[in-house]
């Protein structure tokens, strides 16, 4: 069984510790957990790890957030991974900071990365793990907020949530989305 785990974010040192890059942060944590390095490949930084007879192809698209769909489609095709074995890991301003929500499908919610994926795959039916980053911004300042760095208070909330997100990814690949949602979509 092979899975594509795609953490969404933006490349570049200026984006490293921003709210919008939580997908990259979780992808890094998963690769660290599996003791595998990333290497630069076409459209993404890629790491491959084994977990309980499963192969995880972990990617961090290098296409920038707004063109994430191009990388996702490419790696699904190259690795011959069915769409139901795709898991998108992304930030969500509609959820309070630190809230984790696993869903089997959904719209883009105004998220440009999800919009690009839906457009490239031609469907909204793919699993996604949404990580709440809150919506503590004044009207008209959403871009500044999502591209802003975590506050110290937010970091304290998020550090243990990154570990939980790695557990959710492993659970999704072993016991399935339904049971994993029941276990983790509580708070």
For the entire predicted model, the pTM comes to 0.95
CATH for 154: 3.40.50.1470
Q: Out of 20, 60, 70, 101, which one is annotated catalytic?
A: 20
109/83 Cα distance (integer angstroms): 20
Q: Which residues form the domain of 22? A: 2-184
Is 20 a residue of the active site? Answer: yes
| Secondary structure letter of residue 36 according to DSSP | -
Query: Buried b vs exposed e over 101-136: b needs ≥16 C-beta within 10 Å?
Result: bbeeeeeeeebbbbbbbbebbeeeebbbbbbbbbee
**What would the pLDDT profile of 93-146 be if each residue is shown by its tens digit?**
999 999 999 999 999 988 999 999 999 999 999 999 999 999 888 888 888 898
Domains contained in the chain, number: 1
User: How high is the pLDDT of residue 187?
Assistant: 55
């Amino acid at each position: 069984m092979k899975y594509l785990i795609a953490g969404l974010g933006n490349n570049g040192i200026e984006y490293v510790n921003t709210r919008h890059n939580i997908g990259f942060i979780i992808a890094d944590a998963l690769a660290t957990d599996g003791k595998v390095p990333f290497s630069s490949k076409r459209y993404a930084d890629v790491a491959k790890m084994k977990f309980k007879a499963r192969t995880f192809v972990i990617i961090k698209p290098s296409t920038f957030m707004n063109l994430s769909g191009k990388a996702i489609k490419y790696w699904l095709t190259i690795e011959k991974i069915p769409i139901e074995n795709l898991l998108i890991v992304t930030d969500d301003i509609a959820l309070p900071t630190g809230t984790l929500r696993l869903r089997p499908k959904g719209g883009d919610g105004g998220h440009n990365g999800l919009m690009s994926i839906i457009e490239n795959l031609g469907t909204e039916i793919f699993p996604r793990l949404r990580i709440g980053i809150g919506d503590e911004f004044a009207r008209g300042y959403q871009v500044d907020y999502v591209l802003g760095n975590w506050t110290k208070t937010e970091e304290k909330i998020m550090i243990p949530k990154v570990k939980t997100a790695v557990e959710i990814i492993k659970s999704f690949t072993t016991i399935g989305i339904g049971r994993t949602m029941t276990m983790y979509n509580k708070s």
